[in-house]
Structures are given as C-alpha cells and as structure tokens.
C-alpha cells in the first residue's frame, strides 16, 4: 500500500522526470523495505494510550487517520532516502544500484540530480501536509544530516579517515539519522510523550548503527564467515570502515597502508592481510551487537500495553534487532 502510494506521489507532467523519479519505486527494486517496515511496526508498537481497545468502535476514524499520517512518514522517509541515493550515485559515479543500472548511468547525471531534487521537494510537500512543525523540523534536520554525512565522506582528511569517532559520526549522519528521526516522528504524530519519543529515537538510531556495522563486516566477509569473499566495495573506493579502523588500533602499520590509498590492488590485499590477523571483524560485530542490545532495551522500556497488536509489533521490533546482527546479506 505504502509502495503504491509512493509511486503515485511521484507523478508529474514531465514524462522524463516521472520515469526518473519513480525509477526506484518500481516493483522489485524497492530495496529491502527495511525502513518502512520498522516505521510501520513502530507505529503499532506506539499506539498505546491513544485508544483502549474497548473504545475502538467510535474512534476508528481517528485511529485510521493517525495510521494514515504515520504511513505518510514512511513514504516521506523513503522519498528522502531514494533522493539521497540518486545523488550519492552521481557523486560516486556508480553504475549500478539495487541490482539494476543506476539512474545516472541510465539517464545521465543531470536528470538524476534533478530527480533527486524532485523527490525531495515532494517529500517536503508531504511533510508540510502533516501540519506538524516539529515533525517538519525533524525530517528537515535529517536532510541536512544526509548531506553532511556525504560531505564528510567525500572530503575527509587522512586524520579523519582513520578516526573511529569521525566514522561513527558520519555513519550516524548517513544511515542512522533518517531512521531514528523518523521513528521519533512516528511517536510524535502518535501524541506520545517526549520520553517515549526518545525511546523510539534510540531504537531507530541503534538499529541503524548496528545495521551499518554489520554491513561493513559483510563487505569483507560476504556470505562466508571468512575474509575476502565479500565484495570489498568499500575498501576499493577508499572508504575505511569499522573493521579496518579496529584493525588499525592493533596494527599501527596498517595506517600507512591506508594512507597510501587503495588504487593498487596489492595494497588491498595487504590491508586484508592485517585485517585477518586482527580482531577487527570480531570487534565490529561486537559493537554491532552492543547497539542492537541498546535498541532492544529501548523497546523493553516502552510503557506496558495489553493490546495484542502492540505486543506483536514490539516482539517484531525486538526480532529485528536480532536479524540485523545475524544476517548474512
């Protein structure tokens, strides 16, 4: 439903722009739909004090409306996300995305940039339609974070590239901010207290961070537990992620290798060698687990509810904190 509405939302009178904008909303290319899943589950998990089940009858319209608004957040979040992907692909000169040609590859850089802007503007209009200025501020901040994160990634100095702190900050901006602030927005739309909204935020943030850390690991390990079977896409693009950063703490010599850059495949092999000798992969996994646990705690801290739907959703959210860690792709 959300996916269909998304497709409708990007309709425009200029055909080229329409096909550009809806490129990634086509069936089959929607990505893992992770984010919307989390948001919709959160919406249900939150719906605690809105209406008691016994009162649900006459309140149906209200509940439906709230639900629609929360679904709107899921749509907005996806539009913002895809907009940033479109721009990132232009910035990275990527030629594939989600298993198909990237939009910039298929339709040119400029159209990809314009399509991204278009999605962003539609997201803003949809945001405004919720008539909640706090939610508008939250998601506007996300947009800024996404740009900041991308900028950080593109303009790092050597110092910064080797800093775990810088990396985590960048990861927050690029990955976790969107989901954490959308979760918070879901809570706010649901009329929750600031404390509950913070719990939603913390869930999203830690889930996002855990997700990214495992992503980093999988880029090295792939579907096998051993090194080097992954796509190694990050390191080949000179992007230094958690496992390497941890390895650098154990092997300062690795720092020199990193500084030399990774245009030379021999350097990649050398880095992998150090990585294999280090506890880099394990420590990254451990950090991911730590964040997943914090996320789970946030759900456990939500105010009690006897509603079966609410409890189911919360179990599902907890389940996600497991899956995020154990996934192999």
- Smallest gap, in angstroms, from Cβ of residue 265 to another protein? 11
Cβ partners under 8 Å of residue 222, min gap 6: 229, 230, 231
* Residue 115 or 284 with smaller CB distance to another protein: 115
CB atoms near residue 62 (< 10 Å): 12
Binding region for another protein (CB under 8 A): 12-17, 87, 90-91, 93, 108-111, 113-115, 117-118, 120-122, 124-125, 127-133, 136-137, 140-141, 143-144, 146-148, 150-152, 154-156, 158, 236-238, 259-263
Nearer to another protein, 146 or 179 (CB): 146
Task: Give the 3-state secondary structure percentages of the chain, helix then strand then coil, rounded to 5.
Answer: 75, 0, 20
d(C-alpha 327, C-alpha 323), whole Å: 6
Q: How far is the CB of 223 from another protein (least distance, A)?
A: 26
CB of 66 to another protein, least distance (A): 18
Question: Minimum CB separation from another protein for residue 122, in Å?
Answer: 7
Between 15 and 28, whose beta carbon lies closer to another protein? 15
Residues 116 and 124: their CA atoms lie apart, in Å, by 12
> What is the number of residues in the chain?
329
| Integer Cα distance of 294 and 301 in angstroms | 10
| Residue nearer to another protein on the CB measure, 113 or 275 | 113
Rounded to whole angstroms, the Cα distance separating 69 from 187 reads 11
The least distance separating another protein from the CB of residue 51, rounded to whole angstroms, comes to: 26
Give whichever of 90 and 179 is closer to another protein, judged by the CB atom.
90
Considering the complex, what minimum distance in angstroms separates the CB of residue 290 from another protein? 28
Question: Looking at residue 97, what DSSP letter applies?
Answer: E
Residue 57 tokens, joined: 């009858």
Of residues 244, 253, 242, the one with CA closest to residue 212:
242
Nearer to another protein, 236 or 277 (CB): 236
């Amino acid at each position: 439903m959300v996916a269909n509405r998304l497709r409708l939302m990007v309709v425009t009178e200029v055909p080229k722009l329409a096909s550009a904008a809806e490129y990634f909303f086509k069936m089959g290319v929607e990505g893992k739909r992770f984010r919307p899943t989390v948001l919709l589950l959160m919406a249900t998990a939150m719906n605690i004090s809105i209406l008691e089940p016994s009162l649900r009858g006459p309140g149906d319209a209200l509940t439906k409306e709230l639900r629609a608004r929360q679904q709107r957040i899921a749509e907005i979040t996806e539009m913002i996300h895809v907009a940033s992907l479109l721009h990132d692909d232009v910035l990275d000169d990527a030629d594939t995305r989600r298993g198909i040609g990237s939009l910039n590859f298929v339709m040119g850089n400029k159209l990809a940039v314009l399509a991204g802007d278009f999605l962003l503007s539609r997201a803003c209009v949809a945001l405004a339609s919720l008539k909640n200025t706090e939610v508008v501020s939250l998601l506007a901040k996300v947009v800024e974070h996404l740009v900041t994160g991308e900028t950080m990634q593109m303009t790092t100095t050597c110092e910064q590239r080797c800093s775990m702190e810088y990396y985590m900050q960048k990861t927050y901006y690029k990955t976790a901010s969107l989901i954490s602030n959308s979760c918070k927005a879901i809570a706010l739309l649901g009329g929750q207290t600031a404390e509950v909204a913070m719990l939603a935020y913390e869930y999203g943030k830690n889930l996002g961070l855990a997700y990214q850390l495992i992503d980093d690991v999988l880029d090295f390990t792939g579907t096998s537990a051993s090194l080097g079977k992954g796509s190694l896409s990050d390191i080949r693009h000179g992007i230094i992620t958690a496992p390497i950063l941890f390895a650098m703490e154990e092997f300062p010599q690795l720092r020199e290798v990193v500084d030399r850059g990774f245009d030379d495949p021999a350097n990649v092999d050398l880095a992998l060698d150090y990585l294999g000798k280090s506890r880099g992969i394990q420590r990254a996994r451990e950090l991911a687990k730590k964040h997943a646990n914090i996320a789970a705690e946030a759900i456990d801290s939500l105010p009690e509810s006897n509603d079966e739907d609410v409890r189911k959703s919360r179990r599902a959210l907890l389940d996600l904190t497991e899956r995020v860690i154990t996934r192999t792709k």
